[in-house]
Chains A and B, each alone.
Chain A
Amino acid sequence: MIASIILLNSCTQAITISADITSSMSIMTMSSKSIIKPGFSESPTVVSQYVPLIEHTDPSYYLETIGLSVHGAYTYSENILMFGEVGAKQPVGLTYNHDTYLFGHGGLLMAPNTMPFIGFGAAYVTQSGAKIESGIEFTRANSDLSSKSDGALFHGYPELSQTNLGMNMLSLNLRTGVPIADKFLFYCGMQMGFDIFETNLPFEDGLRSDQRSALQEYTAGTSIALGNLYGRSVKFSVDSLFLGVRFDITNIYE
């Protein structure tokens, strides 16, 4: 026998607007390729002198953020909601105290700014008013990225930087939210990033592979840019765990 169902959040409205506050722990990855060294060929008939070994270095760093967003949900059917959200995340130092991130084995420095995002998806509402949500989130970040001259790769190379580097990131979110009081929902979620969008780095044309290899000496006077070291285009992605609270701020009746 199935127990009778009481909807704790009786929902007759078509659209609900809520405010979310989210705290997340993220790993930000810059999917990049560097020339580790000129490779060599055993074949005596190979014409090219250099066969550059281009390897993924994919440096990553850990980031904590606090985000605020507005969440709008449309009741599609009795158990299904479609939602959209828009907000921004601010990197904060919750367990450590610095506002720049040294990563890439000492070779890169990132100074992230506030990251706006939009997302949309669908939610399944259970008999108790809890929600299981799945959605896509698109985050845009503008950060300052620079290379260091005392890291493990490209040691001794000049320090190069790019301010206001635009990073576009796409990720899949999965969230479970349980109602904790009237109008409040507490949720836990995971975010899995995809490397899809490319970010172009400044690039100097005409450099040979032996002038921009990570394990060799820098030739003084060579005009070089960040893209020559880490790739003409790189991709950023973010993976997170997050928790938050959602508060119903407005109900709009049909």
Chain B
Amino acid sequence: MNHITRRTISLTLALTSTLSHCSGLQFRPRIGIDSGLLNITQETTQNLPILVLETNQAVFKATSDVENATLGFVDANAIYFPNSPNYTAVGKDNLDAATHTLLFGGVQIRYLNDIHVPSRSVSFAPIINAYGIMEDIRSNPNIASDFYTLIPKPHYGGDMGIAIIRNGDSITLGGGAKVYKAELATSSVFAALAEVTTEPVTNLDTSAFRGDDKTPYTAQIDDLVMPYAYLEASTEVGDLLSVFVNLKYGIPVTPKFTEVPVDTQMFAGDHIAYENSVKWQLSSVSFGVSTNLDGLI
């Protein structure tokens, strides 16, 4: 049987033939789990949040106001409550990390010349992937020792690469980017700092640490392009399914926060300095299955 090799990309799907593997443009839906490994490195020192107090005598409230006269307070750590604007910084070289496991779904477009299976010959195919990553419904990771909670939001990504295919197995190399979305919220440390009072007991404005209604402050990460290089190993199982493990090695980027709360100490008063003091590197590993739509026709 003669097979004509097409040199131009056709938009029509090739039909499965009895002896050769699917050829031409293929659309392959993919689904799986994506485990993100976020590595946060510090480039420069990072300031800790402060609340300036005239008396520099901050204590943590120990009981309700009804009983505070007879029961003792506990001295709060003065680095968070200086009596003039004086930031204490966390050292450079500090490492931080977070992992989150999310579901993803996407489609892969692959163009194959005619190949025969089984075969010892190697084929190359260009690959384009586009995918969406769904919201994690389980608990969200905290970063910076529970200063912040990272809440990943649904986001998407795309990449392209070259697959080296032999006998239904393939190794793909390529690069692309995730357009990352997440929310950063202040967590228990900020909530604890807000529960401070001063002696003599007066009304202390702790809105630098937390909102009036005791809700955490949040900042958004919108459309942060996080590029990566990827490597994928996949193999066909039966006629319809492929199983793959995809490794993405992230390129470090500077995070950018939008909708940052105003006049707060969420980022020690200067979110630009905070952004420039860190690099975020999002690598991930996904494990999933894909199916060849051609095979279903």
Q: List residues of A whose CB falls within 8 A of some B CB.
A: 1-6, 8, 25-29, 34, 36-44, 46, 49-50, 53, 55-62, 96, 98, 101-107, 124, 126-132, 150-153, 155-156, 174-180, 186-190, 192, 210, 213-217, 239-243
Contacts and interface: CB of A to CB of B under 8 A. Distances in A.
B64 A186 contact: no
Interface in B168-200: 168-171, 187-189, 192-193, 195
A126 B95 contact: no
Contacts of A190: 35, 245, 285-287
A128 B90 contact: no
Interface residues of B, number: 76
A74 B171 CA distance: 26
Contacts of B169: 126, 128-130, 178-179
| Best-surrounded residue of B60, B76, B96, B145 (most CB of chain A within 10 A) | B145
B142 A56 contact: yes
A156 B234 CA distance: 52
B145 A44 contact: no
Contact of A178 (B64, B79, B189, B233): B233
Contact of A239 (B18, B99, B235, B244): B99
A37 to B, nearest CB: 4
Given A50-B62, A53-B188, A101 B95 contact: yes
Interface of B: 18-19, 35, 37-39, 41, 48, 60-64, 66-67, 71-72, 74-80, 88, 90-91, 93-99, 101, 117-118, 120, 141-142, 144-147, 166-171, 187-189, 192-193, 195, 231-237, 239, 243-249, 283-287
A26 to B, nearest CB: 8
A188 to B, nearest CB: 4
A40 B64 contact: yes
A185 to B, nearest CB: 10
Contacts of A26: 37
A155 to B, nearest CB: 5
A172 B237 CA distance: 22
A62 B232 contact: no
Contacts of B93: 98, 102
Nearest to A54: B188
A176 B244 contact: yes
